[in-house]
Amino acid sequence: MPVVLAYLLCAIVWGTTWHVIRICTGPGGYPSLEAAALRFAIAAVVLAPVVVAARLGPWPRGRRAWAWIVVAGVLDAVSYGLVYLGEERVSGGLAAVLFATQPLMLAALLTATRAEAVRRTDLLGAVIALAGVALIFAERWQVSSRQAAGLAMILAAVAASTSYSFILKREAQDVHPLVSTLVFLAVTAAALTLAVLARGPAPLPWPPPRDATWALIYLALMGSIVTFAAWLWLLQRLTLMASSTLVLVLPVVALFVDAIWERELRVGPRTYLGSAVVFAGLAVALFATTRRGKPRV
């Protein structure tokens, strides 16, 4: 039950962040890279006293563990920087669709490195769910030259996300989830801040815009601290392929959030059918895992 609750928490919160990012960086909001840097800086500042006061541990042991978690944080900065910039050009729903390719990228990486056995049911479930996601957005796949650049950014973000997921699965198994979350978020914040300084910081809106600021706080607390801690905890209990199925649920959540809050996308029969196909794919991958008893790690 805790695994299911953590999985649902990540799916629901991360599924809403695509829309919330657009609120944070939309007209009158924060510049994209600055918003990403502020998000992770706030998260790290809030989480640090909790970890220190509670004396949580264990921490990463040895230079190798520290180095790899730092690399993962830098890759996270690359991924989120590209996501924020990409969402200037494509909708959050379309960005979420592209992230649904992650299990296929991950399967290729795991097969190449032989780090984890990739079962036929893992691949079958990912392909079925990806087909459902494509079905949902079949009528919305309109690409202009500007959108094409955004699509390329999002796909590069998927590659970076796949890489840091692989690293954290291998190198953060013995680290307390909140500790690894703190290190991971702090490195991400530092890397994004350096990117902002290298490019030249854009002026921040003043006084802080109400909706964009609330969106920033939500992204820092729920979209970063809570979900990354829950996700790193899941990584210690599930296989990478099982945990990666999260990205197949996010487009469904993102679509319904858009339909409710933006009132631009109507939920019709094709959406319901595509959602059913997505969950069928998840069932194929996850049911095969639970049939064997304890999830593979």
What are 10-48's pLDDT values in tens digits? Answer: 989 998 888 899 889 988 899 999 999 999 999 999 999
User: How crowded is residue 131: how many other Cβ atoms within 10 Å of its Cβ?
Assistant: 14
Count other Cβ atoms within 10 Å, centred on residue 269: 7
Can you tell me the distance from the alpha carbon of 158 to that of 78, in angstroms, rounded to the nearest whole number?
Answer: 10
Residue 102 clears pLDDT 80, i.e. is over it = no
How do residues 205-245 score in pLDDT, each as one tens digit? 989 999 999 999 999 999 999 999 999 898 888 877 777 77
Q: Is the pLDDT of residue 266 over 60?
A: no
Rounded Cα–Cα distance for residues 98 and 83 (Å): 11
Find out whether 32 and 85 touch, Cβ atoms under 8 Å.
Answer: yes
Tokens of 170: 């291998």
Q: What whole-number distance in Å separates Cα of residue 184 and Cα of residue 169?
A: 13
Q: Which ranges constitute the DSSP H helices of 54-91?
A: 62-86
Mean pLDDT of the chain: 81
CA 163 to chain centre: 12
Q: What is the arithmetic mean of pLDDT over 99-105?
A: 74
At 91, the pLDDT band (50, 70, 90 cuts) reads: low
Kindly state the percentage of the chain with pLDDT values over 90. 35
What are the two backbone dihedrals, phi and then psi, of residue 205, each rounded to the nearest 5 degrees?
-65, 140
pLDDT beyond 70 at 145: no
